[in-house]
Amino acid sequence: MTQDNSMTDHTAVASTIGVLGDPHKDFLWTKKALTMLLAAGVKQIHVLGDFGFVWHGAPQERNDLNRLSKVLSESDAHLYVTGGNHEGYAALHRHYPQDGYGYRHLTDRITWLPRGWRGRTDAGTVVASLGGANSIDRGRRTPPVDGRGGSWWPEEQITEDDLRQLGTEPVDVLLAHDAPRTQALAAKLYPNQHFWTPEGLMYADMGQQMFQRGVEQVKPKVVLSGHYHLFLDTTETFHDVAGNAFDTRSIILDCNGFSRSAAVFEPDTQTLRILPVV
């Protein structure tokens, strides 16, 4: 993704990118993951939600962002964020307004992508971004008061407008926080249902249904996700609104502190190589 001073070209995606599962504002882990990806020659890194370094807009958050930006600048690299559900959306909107293309620039090296964003590699591989997911623990969180504070923000939810922005033209790779409704994922999540309230389970399911609609709209060959704090690589068959079948490979990366949370990905060949962040 080229990012020049004129901000006129945001559509170029590198032939090799880095992808990170949920960092959760873990500075040491994130710095280590970035360092390993940069050492592997990656110049473009994508966070798959729950970045967490924008929460309430505190000075320490800006300091951490600047320190991460310095790591990136030393290798002339850039980081792009697909938003998750545990993000400080009120502070994000207050302190980092959108530019004319819908981008929010946290630093000169770290950019928040708009939902529905699309890019393309030199080989023509189409990459899109659809952030957001519904927090299963919403009942334990508090909304902001007068746009400030809180630990839950309604902007985490994927909206009808987000799906319109995503469009219906097919994509090859979808960067996301939530994941497709695969049988493999359901089997992994089922044993843990007793940890959550019925209301939380229903709310989370509503969010995944919205994301699934996005998947059925653009029929991606690969979806790269975070959110579920586990690693999964599975391929299943889905159907679009017209009933046409398509296969999607769903790759979910683990979160900070776990070994399968950072990877090198080649969009053109759909090759994934895990980098174990110790």
Angstrom CA distances, 194 to 180, 189, 191, stand at 22, 10, 7
Closest by Cα among 278, 264, 259, 227 to 32: 278
Whether the Cβ atoms of residue 153 and residue 144 lie closer than 8 Å to each other: yes
pLDDT over threshold 80, residue 235? yes
The tens digit of pLDDT for each residue in 124-155 reads 999 999 999 999 999 999 999 988 889 999 99
Cα-Cα-Cα-Cα dihedral of 86, 87, 88, 94, to 10°?
-160
The tens digit of pLDDT for each residue in 39-88 reads 999 999 999 999 999 999 999 999 999 999 999 999 999 999 999 999 99
258 secondary structure, DSSP code: S
- Measured distance CA(128)–CA(248) in Å, rounded: 14
Angstrom CA distances, 25 to 55, 86, 92, 113, stand at 9, 10, 14, 18
pLDDT over threshold 80, residue 252? yes
- Measured distance CA(227)–CA(21) in Å, rounded: 8
- Measured distance CA(226)–CA(77) in Å, rounded: 22
Question: What predicted TM-score, i.e. pTM, was given to this entire model?
Answer: 0.95
Residue % of the chain over a pLDDT of 70: 96
Average pLDDT for residues 28-36, to the nearest whole number? Answer: 98
Please report, as a single letter, which amino acid is at residue 273.
Answer: R
The tens digit of pLDDT for each residue in 79-126 reads 999 999 999 999 999 999 999 999 999 999 999 999 999 999 999 999
| pLDDT for position 110 | 98
| pLDDT for position 96 | 98
**Displacement of CA 221 from its chain's centroid (Å):** 17
- For the chain, the average pLDDT equals 95
Q: Going from the N-terminus, what domains does the chain have, and what CATH number goes with each?
A: 17-274 (3.60.21.10)
| pLDDT for position 10 | 55
